[in-house]
């Protein structure tokens, strides 16, 4: 099964409410995926401060922030401190299976430092705007672990997983965030993912898991890196991938939904002057402010729906 | 689209209803009550998209759902009369045996799936696979239906006052399909057929039961070319 929710705010006045709205929505899809939950939030300046980038890390050792700071800024006395603010230049915030590191350096440099400091750790998200949380467990427990209700921001998504294609562990949890500020969540299963994975590996793409959805995320990231917009990337995915899917993809400025041509997997979109929301089922949307006035519809098979900030 | 007014639609005028608020009691309590009804009429408040609302009714009772319902609303209905003042999720009135289900808003996928009898009216539009494998149910949709509707439909009537998506009536058996608007590509073995007097008469009856006043002459009829009924040995070479 699996459940998806996503919320893209149009009205800045709702930004402080993002976490509460996402948490209410998550309740509506928890029965669809009780084994793991991933969340991505965009624009929370406490979790991903301006001028910094955040990376989300699985299997992070306890001293990862100090080790990464030493690699990035050296071991000279005081160098680990952000000179302007008097706080550590690298912060680590554990939230269950995920640890979020922030630092005033590029996401790629930060991810490379994590990899060098802790070769067993796995970076599962990075960007200057997004923060990703992944973990195995029940949705209501993990929403508390991630502090979801306290999130502020302009966009977010979550996925509740009922595993079919790979093991139940934090690595197999969605979203797959394999490019800067990019996230992809999936309800369904790709049937030709192994073939596409081999092709991408030949092109030099590396993978973190055995999961079919990761192949979709790597494919979309490769298309975006080639200059495609979200719509084109998802149309190319439709031409290449076989199987069942409802996908929600978010980027630094975009929010996109697509279903396969047979559209067995559910999706409901609600559009309101203050927000755009997508969920696997209506009941996840029922508590949104003004839902009574929203335009509610099911996305057509094979059609890409996109919204931009 | 004409409004589904109670009088025009020949709807029942239920007795003073017993109110069940799903904020206070869950769907299980509601369904336990309607399965062994102590009243003849119920009003359901705060459905909020919950699944299986009023599924499995087998008595002649009225249930009025005030709001949006989730999956399988009024599924397996027998003799009951269910009205939803809102939209419904996947599989409304699936496997209905008799009675009626009237949805004022839109319906998600597989509305009336496998239904054997009774009347399902969707005031808005129905999504994909409306009437899939229907086996005697009558379905009237005020708006349009999505792709792959009436897939393998065996018996009953599907009336669509708007448009039908691609793949209408794929592998249809003997169900009769009426569409007032445009139809995308027809499904395998589904063809347009002449609209004769008896079809206009049954359409008029179905539209009246749904509270709609379209002219039956505006519809076109579709059904099975009956080309898939038998295995054709000459085709074995193509596999």
Domain CATH for A70: 3.30.70
At residue A74, the pLDDT reads 81
Whether B181 has a pLDDT exceeding 60, the answer reads yes
Length of chain A: 309
Q: How confident is the model at residue A282 (pLDDT cuts 50, 70, 90)?
A: very high
Closest chain B residue by Cα to residue A283: B49
pTM: 0.90
pLDDT tens digits, residue range B193-227?
999 999 999 999 999 999 999 999 999 999 999 99
Query: In chain B, which residues have their Cβ closer than 8 Å to the Cβ of A298?
Result: 108-109, 127-128, 146
Domain extent for A219:
3-45+136-308
At residue B145, the pLDDT reads 97
Domain end position, chosen among A128, A156, A177: A128
Alpha-carbon gap, residue A42 to A15, rounded angstroms? 10
Among A275-289, A294-308, B55-69, B221-235, the range scoring the smallest mean pLDDT is B221-235
At residue A77, the pLDDT reads 42
At residue A166, the pLDDT reads 80
At residue A88, the pLDDT reads 75
At residue B9, the pLDDT reads 56
Domain identity same for A170 and A34: yes
Select the more confidently predicted residue: A166 or B7. Answer: A166
Domain identity same for A160 and A283: yes
Domain identity same for A211 and A283: yes
Query: In chain B, which residues have their Cβ closer than 8 Å to the Cβ of A286?
Result: 48-49, 68
What b-and-e string marks burial along B119-131, b requiring 16 or more CB atoms within 10 Å of the CB?
Answer: bbbbbbbbbbbbb
Cα dihedral angle (B7, B11, B15, B19), rounded to 10 degrees?
A: -110
Report the percent of chain B where pLDDT is more than 90.
Answer: 88
Selected for mutation to probe chain A from B127, B163, B165 (highest A CB count within 10 Å) is B127
Distance from CA of B90 to the nearest CA of A (A): 9
Q: How confident is the model at residue B187 (pLDDT cuts 50, 70, 90)?
A: very high
Whether B172 has a pLDDT exceeding 60, the answer reads yes
Domain identity same for A235 and A95: no
ipTM: 0.82
Whether B3 has a pLDDT exceeding 50, the answer reads no
Domain end position, chosen among A102, A128, A154: A128
At residue A68, the pLDDT reads 96
Domain identity same for A84 and A222: no
Domain identity same for A266 and A153: yes
Among A72-86, A283-297, B92-106, the range scoring the smallest mean pLDDT is A72-86
pLDDT tens digits, residue range A215-240?
999 999 999 999 999 999 999 999 99
In 3D, which of A305, A127, A307 has the Cα closest to residue A221? A127
Alpha-carbon gap, residue B138 to B11, rounded angstroms? 16
- Note whether A282 contacts B49, CB cutoff 8 Å: yes
Distance from CA of B75 to the nearest CA of A (A): 18
Alpha-carbon gap, residue B108 to B126, rounded angstroms? 6
Distance from CA of A286 to the nearest CA of B (A): 6
At residue A79, the pLDDT reads 47
Domain identity same for A110 and A60: yes
Domain identity same for A27 and A171: yes
Whether B10 has a pLDDT exceeding 90, the answer reads no
Closest chain B residue by Cα to residue A282: B49
At residue B228, the pLDDT reads 87
Please state the domain count of chain A. Answer: 2
Domain identity same for A37 and A64: no
In chain A, DSSP finds a helix count (H) and a strand count (E) of: 7, 17
pLDDT tens digits, residue range B19-44?
999 999 999 999 999 999 999 999 99
Select the more confidently predicted residue: B1 or B18. Answer: B18
Distance (Å) of CA A128 to CA A16, A174, A185: 19, 20, 20
At residue A83, the pLDDT reads 55
At residue B208, the pLDDT reads 98
Domain end position, chosen among A105, A128, A151: A128
Domain identity same for A175 and A278: yes
Q: How confident is the model at residue A167 (pLDDT cuts 50, 70, 90)?
A: confident
- Note whether B127 contacts A298, CB cutoff 8 Å: yes
Q: How confident is the model at residue A279 (pLDDT cuts 50, 70, 90)?
A: very high
Domain identity same for A153 and A205: yes
Q: Which CATH number fits the domain that encloses residue A29?
A: 3.60.20.10
pLDDT tens digits, residue range A169-182?
999 999 999 999 99
Domain identity same for A256 and A157: yes
Q: Give the residue numbers of A annotated as catalytic, written as ranges.
A: 2
């Amino acid at each position: 099964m699996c459940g998806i929710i996503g919320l893209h705010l149009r009205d800045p006045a709702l930004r402080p409410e993002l976490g509460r709205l996402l948490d209410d929505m998550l309740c509506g899809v928890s029965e669809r995926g009780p084994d793991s939950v991933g969340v991505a939030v965009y624009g929370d300046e406490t979790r991903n401060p301006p001028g910094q980038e955040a990376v989300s890390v699985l299997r992070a050792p306890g001293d990862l922030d100090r080790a990464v700071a030493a690699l990035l800024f050296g071991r000279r006395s005081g160098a680990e401190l952000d000179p302007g603010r008097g706080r550590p230049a690298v912060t680590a915030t554990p939230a269950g299976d995920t640890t979020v590191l922030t630092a005033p350096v590029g996401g790629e440099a930060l991810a490379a430092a994590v990899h060098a400091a802790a070769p067993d750790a796995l970076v599962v998200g990075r960007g200057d705007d997004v923060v990703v949380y992944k973990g195995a467990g029940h949705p209501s427990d993990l929403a508390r672990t991630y502090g979801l209700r306290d999130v502020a921001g302009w966009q977010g998504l979550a996925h509740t997983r009922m595993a079919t294609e790979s093991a139940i562990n934090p690595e197999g949890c969605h979203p797959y965030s394999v490019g800067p500020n990019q996230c992809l969540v999936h309800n369904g299963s790709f049937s030709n993912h192994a073939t596409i994975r081999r092709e991408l590996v030949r092109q030099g793409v590396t993978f973190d898991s055995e999961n079919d959805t990761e192949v979709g995320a790597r494919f979309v990231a490769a298309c975006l890196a080639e200059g495609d917009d979200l719509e084109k990337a998802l149309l190319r995915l439709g031409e290449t991938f076989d199987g069942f899917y409802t996908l929600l993809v978010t980027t630094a400025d975009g929010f996109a939904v697509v279903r396969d041509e047979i559209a067995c997997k559910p999706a409901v979109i609600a559009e309101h002057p203050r927000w755009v929301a997508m969920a696997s089922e209506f009941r996840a949307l029922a508590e949104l402010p003004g839902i009574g006035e929203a335009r509610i519809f099911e996305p057509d098979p094979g059609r890409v729906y996109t919204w931009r900030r | 689209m004409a409004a589904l007014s109670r009088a025009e639609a020949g709807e029942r005028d239920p007795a003073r209803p017993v109110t069940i608020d799903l904020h206070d009691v869950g769907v299980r309590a509601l369904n336990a009550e309607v399965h062994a009804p102590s009243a003849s009429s119920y009003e359901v408040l705060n459905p909020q998209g919950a699944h299986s609302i009023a599924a499995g009714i087998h008595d002649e009772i009225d249930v009025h759902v005030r709001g949006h319902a989730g999956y399988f609303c009024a599924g397996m209905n027998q003799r009951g009369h269910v009205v939803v003042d809102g939209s419904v999720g996947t599989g409304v009135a699936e496997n209905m045996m008799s009675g009626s289900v009237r949805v004022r808003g839109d319906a998600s996928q597989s509305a009336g799936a496998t239904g054997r009898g009774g009347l399902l009216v969707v005031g808005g539009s129905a999504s994909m696979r409306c009437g899939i494998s229907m086996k005697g149910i009558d379905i009237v949709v005020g708006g349009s239906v999505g792709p792959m509707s009436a897939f393998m439909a065996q018996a009953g009537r599907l009336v669509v006052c708007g448009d039908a998506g691609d793949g209408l009536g794929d592998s249809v058996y003997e169900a009769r399909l009426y569409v007032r608007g445009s139809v995308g590509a027809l499904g395998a073995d589904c063809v347009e057929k002449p609209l004769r007097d008896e079809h206009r008469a049954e359409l008029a009856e179905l539209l009246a039961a749904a509270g709609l006043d379209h002219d039956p002459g505006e519809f076109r009829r579709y059904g099975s070319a009956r080309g898939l009924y038998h295995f054709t040995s000459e085709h074995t070479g193509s596999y």
